[in-house]
Every structure is written in C-alpha cells, then in structure tokens.
Amino acid sequence: MQQWHEPQQGFRYQTRQLELAPDTQVERLTACGVDAQVFADEADPAFFIGLAIHAGIDSGISAEGNINMLQRLIQHRPAKLGELLTVQGQIQSVTPVPRGLRVQTDVWFEDMAGERVISCPRTSLKPQANSQTAIGAGDKPQPVVGDLAKLALGLRYQLTPQRVKAYSMEGNSIHYEQEAAERAGFRAPLIGGGMGVHYLTAQMWSERRPASFDALIYFRRPIFWDEAVQVGVIEDGANWRGMGLLKLPMAGADVATGAETAVETQAKVGTELALQSYIVA
C-alpha cells in the first residue's frame, strides 16, 4: 500500500528508469485526437509533464486534487521513442497561501551519459479541505496572449468525456470523475495540463520542429472535457514568441479538426505558453 508524505522542501524523489514506447505515444496521442506521425521517432515532450507528476506519486507525493499552475518545459535535445532515461526530482519550496499550499518542484530526465534531456520544473496548488476561499494561490503572472485577433490560428480539436478518460491516467480523479471534479469546485472534469500541451507541441512539430526549446506554460482557465479548443500562435516575423490553447464557445462544440482563419470573438485562453528560447531543427 502506498505511503503518502506531506510535501516538504528538500524532499527528493525516488530515482528510476523509464522509456516512452512508440505504441504508447500513438495510443495516447490518438486518444487526444492528435496525429502521432508528426513526431516521427521523437517523443512528444508534453508526455514528460505527466511522467514528472507520476514520479512524485511513485515517491509518495499525492497528486489528488492538485492544480497545475505554472509548468516549465525544457527540451535540451529531442528524446527518442524507446530511449532509456533516468528520472530525478526534488521539492524546492512549499509556501502556505490562502487556498492551501503552493508547491514548487524540479523534475528532470537524464540520458545514460547523465545529461539532461527534458526538464519539467512545476508550480502547483495543493488545496486545503478547510479553505473557504476560491482565490489566493500566489502572484498571478501577466498574460502571454494579449490580443486574440493577432494570433495565427492552427488546428481545432473537440474534447469529449470518452476522449479525456481514454487519455487520463490514475492519480488525480478530477480529470476523469464527475464527483471528484465537483468536490474540487468544478462543473465537470477538466483535462490535465499535459493533455492540453499536446495540442501545442503537435503544432510545433507540424510547422517548426524544434531541436530545443524552453517554455513557460501557464494554466489560466480550466478546460473541461466537453469543450472545443483551438491552437493560436504569437508570431514575431519568422519567429514564434508564444502560443495559446483557446477555449471555444460551447455553441461551437460540434466542430471538426481543422484550421480556421478568424478568432472566435468569445474564445478564452485556457493554456498559454511563452517561449524563452526556440531552436528549429
């Protein structure tokens, strides 16, 4: 039986080895509605967000009910499908806030030479059961996406409960159980942060396959399992400065995957990504 630990500064995760199998990537991306072929023999780095969270679970740090607030995702070099990597991690800080505990962790994945391949520093909120406030999780960073009308729009995706359940892994039931989501204060289950990032990385690999990048990912609004989403890109000449995953109006829920030419006036930013660096392969 799993023994759980309260998050404490300095707590080190258990070291273990893992690999992302080609069949697993195809199965999970297909569940998202993403064409896995765009990644060829490279691992979609968005998977390592969930793998980093599960490294904590395996070490006795529960993810149940936790909310991902800020995720940094660094691809030092592309990880290959089937490549054996070693995961390591540590809790860097635990700060009380009105809604609970703000927990900062660093988790990274090394190759057999001991070099970092993927790094996943993360800030999350561990809500407290006796909290009476829906606000107060710490400082709120400035938006990455300003004017939605200036975004270069990419692919649309329709989420469904079946699709989200097929993707979600055990560990945080707010992603796949109605009752758990309602207990956490949400109208319905919401997709995990990593699932939303797949839509952004798929756009990267489709248009500008990166050799390396460093991204700050902000989870601004919950994206529910019955919503439609669309990728938007912040362009700066020939370069990309950021991306957004837009929540489309519920009236547009019956959309098919495909590119659009105009921003939905009622769209809201669910997840946004600020690119600190981006080197095209």
Higher pLDDT, 128 or 224: 224
Q: Does 26 score more than 60 pLDDT? A: yes
Residues 131-146 as b or e (16 or more Cβ within 10 Å = b): eeeeeebeeeeeebbe
Q: At a CB cut-off of 8 Å and minimum separation 6, what does 244 contact?
A: 144, 145, 148, 151, 231, 232, 234, 269, 270, 271, 272, 273
**pLDDT on residue 76:** 98
Maximum Cα–Cα distance for the chain, whole Å? 54
- Section 206-231 average pLDDT: 95
91: tokens are 């809790």
**Least confident segment among 104-113, 235-244, 245-254:** 245-254
Q: Let me know: does 46 contact 193? Beta carbons within 8 Å.
A: no
**pLDDT on residue 2:** 74
Report the alpha-carbon distance of residue 57 to residue 218 in Å, rounded.
Answer: 22
Report the alpha-carbon distance of residue 125 to residue 135 in Å, rounded.
Answer: 11
Residues 228-249 as b or e (16 or more Cβ within 10 Å = b): bbbbbbbeeeeebebbbbbbbe
- Section 81-100 average pLDDT: 95
pLDDT classification of 135: cutoffs 50, 70, 90: low
- Section 224-228 average pLDDT: 95
**Least confident segment among 42-51, 86-95, 160-169, 228-237:** 160-169
What is the reported pTM?
0.86
**pLDDT on residue 138:** 55
The CATH code belonging to domain 16-280 is: 3.10.129.10
Closest C-alpha among 256, 255, 269 to residue 149: 269
What tens digit of pLDDT does each residue of 137-186 get? 556 678 899 889 989 999 999 999 999 999 987 667 888 899 999 988 89
- Section 91-118 average pLDDT: 95
**pLDDT on residue 17:** 97
Q: How many DSSP H helices and E strands does the chain contain?
A: 5, 11
CA dihedral 77, 240, 25, 58 (to 10 degrees): 70
What tens digit of pLDDT does each residue of 183-200 get? 888 999 999 888 999 999
pLDDT classification of 132: cutoffs 50, 70, 90: low
Q: Does 253 score more than 50 pLDDT? A: no
**pLDDT on residue 99:** 81
**pLDDT on residue 243:** 97
**pLDDT on residue 130:** 59
Closest C-alpha among 226, 262, 266, 228 to residue 245: 228
**pLDDT on residue 262:** 43
**pLDDT on residue 215:** 97
Start-to-end Cα distance in the chain: 45
Higher pLDDT, 158 or 2: 158
